[in-house]
Structure 1
Amino acid sequence: MRIGVVFPQTEIGPDPDAIRAYATAVQDLGFRHILAYEHVVGADPEHYAGWTGPYDVRTQFHEPMVLFGYLAAFTSLELVNGILVLPQRQTVLAAKQAAEVDILTRGRYRLGVGVGWNPVEYEALGQEFSLRGRRIEQQIELLRRLWTEPVVNYVGAFDRITAAGLAPQPVQRPIPIWMGADSPPAFRRAGRLADGWFPQMPPGPRLIDAKGIVDDAAREAGRDPDRIGMEGRISYGPRGSIGVVEEAAEWERMGATHVCINTMGAGLGGVDDHIAALTAVSTHIRRLARAPG
């Protein structure tokens, strides 16, 4: 099981030196990948009465593709979007940016995608929130074509390409596409289309049911469900590294191929506190990690 970390960007701030210190420490501690969330803009809760979203206009998010270009310059970690809100982005531009990250990381990249939850963000980016499910399915097809075909002709409901292609193309052809999933339609979409998925739930009965839906959808699409990866997410909490290790073992029993450890929301301070928490975890968790493959 490959063990990585969630980049705690909402808490360590915008300082490039802090980002470098964090990523370097993650690599030195033996973690395998960094996963980054994304939001392009945040909503002002004073304007939206009853706002309940987990993030707002004050929450700091780095643009992940630019961030990954920076990280690729000084680490050999796998970089992972977890997730990129694909339907609010231009498909061809997202394909180009992903290809560039794949090149800069020498193929150590996974593109996690999802439909998101914030209609305010969709409006700001000029996309229709209600069409996001339909759009992402067409986008995934088109991304894979752009990464594997030198010249693409495509006419769909949301995109049109006439005799055009990307150069240079990525190292991985195609780049692995993983999907965030928190509902039966998203579980089925992951089973039909994705190389892997990010369950938005802890190990337990709901995950068993969700994985069953993913696996059934894969079989119906003529795919082998055992070839679809699954990455769990573990929140660092009051029980510290012991709690993380116990939950990682649960994820391993559930068949996870990857897990990532999230130190955000644990009441930690700046970058040094996040690194200290991961240092404590790393001393206990190595036995769960398989050899590099």
Structure 2
Amino acid sequence: MEIGFAPPVSGSWATPENMLRIARRAEELGYGSLWTFQRLLSPPDGNWGEIYRSVQDPMVTLGFLAAATGRIRLGVSVLNIPYVSPVVLAKQIATVDILSGGRLDVGLGNGWAAEEFAATGADPRRRGRQADEAVPLLRRLLTDEVITHDGEFYQVPAMRLEPKPVQRPVPILLGGAAPAALRRVGRLGDGWVSSSRADLTAIGDSIRAIRSAAAEAGRDPGRLRFVCRGAVRIGATGAGPRTPLTGTETQIRADFDALAAEGMTELFLDPNVDPEIGSPDADPVASLRRAEELLETFAPGAPAGI
């Protein structure tokens, strides 16, 4: 299972200097990928949680990191399909893929925040059908020389989108946990990226559902990627049963093995989802120190601690 890491995008530690520091060190240590996430707005009372109060734009951040790295892949988990036209999204994807020399992985989701749907003019009641139309259209925009489309949600006259990305095709992973979303991954996606709130004790059920949907659609399930967004916290166990990816280094490494056994092909560690790191009220120096501890401890090939 390949291991990735999330650079600073949420909270007080998400500065340009820290982004570069984490990204460059992750590449030095052999991590396979860097991942960002999207959150457009946050409620005044902060009831979505600390990690959503102050979030940098994911694609702009990846374009910035593309210039500072040379090997490590760059991913977003996830961009919400209903919030923007596939034409605009395709232009962003192509540009970041070019800037990175063909290192971009795109995760797409359907959104969940009613306030963001309202603010972007999107209709949450139609997001499933919208995704069914948007994903194939996005692929065509990124690959076909001339695109014509007349659908329920999008209309594109005969036009070109240039320049094209380096990768042909750019990998498109889909998020979501509902049965319909998992079936969509099997039918349309190059793989699946899980939520940081996913129940990792039952993650194998989702993987099996996606593989089954892929087989029913005549696709090869063995070609799909399965990416876990890992809320890893060393020493944080709390009351009750231990949550996967929390606890001692030994326990967390055992969780890595368990996820791989269930079929996860990739895991990225995301310190932004730790409210003690990803909050705008957190001490940025302490946040960086905690994140770098995580980065060094679980570096690919690093010996396990005692």
Query: Fold conserved (TM > 0.5)?
Result: yes
Q: Which runs of 5+ in 2 are unaligned?
A: 236-246, 278-285
* Distance 1:255-1:88 versus aligned 2 partners, 3 A rule: same
The SS at the match of 2:10 is helix
**Superposition deviation, residue 284 in structure 1:** 6.3
Distance 2:91 2:107 in 1: 15
Distance 1:42 1:7 in 2: 20
**Superposition deviation, residue 209 in structure 1:** 2.1
Deviations 1:218-245 (A, max 9, x none): 1111101111110123322222433331
Distance 1:133 1:7 in 2: 30
Quick check: 1:216 aligned with 2:212?
Answer: yes
Quick check: 1:72 aligned with 2:81?
Answer: no
The corresponding residue for 2:252 is 244
Distance 2:169 2:84 in 1: 19
Quick check: 1:254 aligned with 2:262?
Answer: yes
Q: 1:275 aligns with which of 289, 292, 301?
A: 292
**Superposition deviation, residue 101 in structure 1:** 0.8
Q: Which amino acid aligns with 1:90?
A: S
**Superposition deviation, residue 266 in structure 1:** 6.4
Quick check: 1:62 aligned with 2:79?
Answer: no
Deviations 1:5-49 (A, max 9, x none): 123422353421121112112112221111111112222238xxx
Query: Percent identity among equivalent residues?
Result: 30
The corresponding residue for 1:226 is 222
**Superposition deviation, residue 144 in structure 1:** 0.6
The corresponding residue for 1:106 is 101
Q: Which runs of 5+ in 1 are unaligned?
A: 288-293
**Superposition deviation, residue 129 in structure 1:** 1.7
The corresponding residue for 2:38 is 38
Distance 2:21 2:261 in 1: 33
The SS at the match of 1:213 is helix
The corresponding residue for 1:20 is 20
Q: How does 1:72-221 map to 2 (within 5 A)?
A: 72-76=66-70, 77-200=72-195, 201-204=198-201, 206-221=202-217
Distance 1:221 1:20 in 2: 42
The corresponding residue for 1:290 is none
**Superposition deviation, residue 72 in structure 1:** 0.3
Distance 1:170 1:266 in 2: 36
Q: Aligned-pair RMSD on alpha carbons?
A: 2.1
* Distance 1:152-1:263 versus aligned 2 partners, 3 A rule: same
Distance 1:240 1:91 in 2: 43
Distance 2:184 2:169 in 1: 18
Distance 2:207 2:39 in 1: 27
User: TM-score w.r.t. structure 2 length?
Assistant: 0.85
Q: Which amino acid aligns with 1:19?
A: M
Determine if contact 1:235/1:263 at 8 Å carries over to the other structure.
yes
Moved over 6 A (4+): none
* Distance 1:249-1:118 versus aligned 2 partners, 3 A rule: same
Q: Which amino acid aligns with 1:234?
A: G
The SS at the match of 2:38 is coil
